[in-house]
Amino acid sequence: MSKFAAGALVALVVLAIVGVAGVRHASAHLEHGVAAPQFTLQAAKGGDVATVDLKAALAKGPVVLYFFPKSFTSGCTVEAHLFSEHVADYAKLGAQVIGVSGDDIETQKKFSTQECRSAFLVASDPGLKVAKQYDASLAPGYANRTSYVIAPDGTIAYSYTSLDPSKHVDNTLDALKTLAAAKK
């Protein structure tokens, strides 16, 4: 089965589950000002595995935390490419990007090099425990496409949920610019 066919099948299964069971509205997410749930996960960058800890990451500046349904599916690949193309823009704003899905760490190691272009951490969230804390689970086994900007104080500065991968980067960059302007 091709990657495109696999991605289409995943999308159909997710839509069928959501439509039949009413699992979650596409716009669910944590609200502005809420404390971001702390987590520690295994993550890969450039194929190397490390532990990512939100508290430690926030000590360096804001974090863009984005949840995605499944590595190597068409929408998730598009989104990973978009985030990787803009890593320098995030760095200029003092932010780092962390992607999260329910895929195992071996899959994330490959995804981190092939689709994330070794530009940012991509974490493995087995059982979607962290995704559930962030109200970012879509259906059993799949995270919802939800992006957060988490301020250095650990609060949610911005959240956006849409299965369309095209606006997550623009929206989070705009939110970071607003956050930076508010600090001045």
CATH number at residue 74: 3.40.30.10
Do 147 and 36 meet the contact criterion of CB atoms below 8 Å apart?
no
- Please indicate whether residue 23 or residue 61 has the higher confidence score (pLDDT): 61
Q: What is the pLDDT of residues 110-137, one digit of tens each?
A: 999 999 999 999 999 999 999 999 999 9
Q: In terms of Cα–Cα distance, which of 149, 70, 163 is closest to 115?
A: 70
pLDDT recorded at residue 29: 80
Residue entry with tokens 């974490």? 123
Rounded Cα distance between 148 and 172, Å, is 7
Q: Tell me: pLDDT of 79 over 70.
A: yes
Q: Does 116 participate in catalysis according to the annotation? A: no
Q: What's the rounded Cα separation, in Å, for the pair 42 and 141?
A: 17
Cα Rg, the chain, nearest whole Å:
15
* Dihedral Cα 180, 79, 29, 124, nearest 10 deg: -100
Tally of structural domains, the chain: 1
Q: Which of 10, 65, 76, 80 is catalytic?
A: 76
pLDDT at 17: 34
Per-chain mean pLDDT for the chain: 88
Query: What are 158's two structure tokens?
Result: 């911005």
pLDDT digits (tens, 9 = 90+) for 19-54: 333 333 345 688 899 999 999 999 999 999 999 999
pLDDT at 94: 97
Note down the domain range covering 141. 3-183
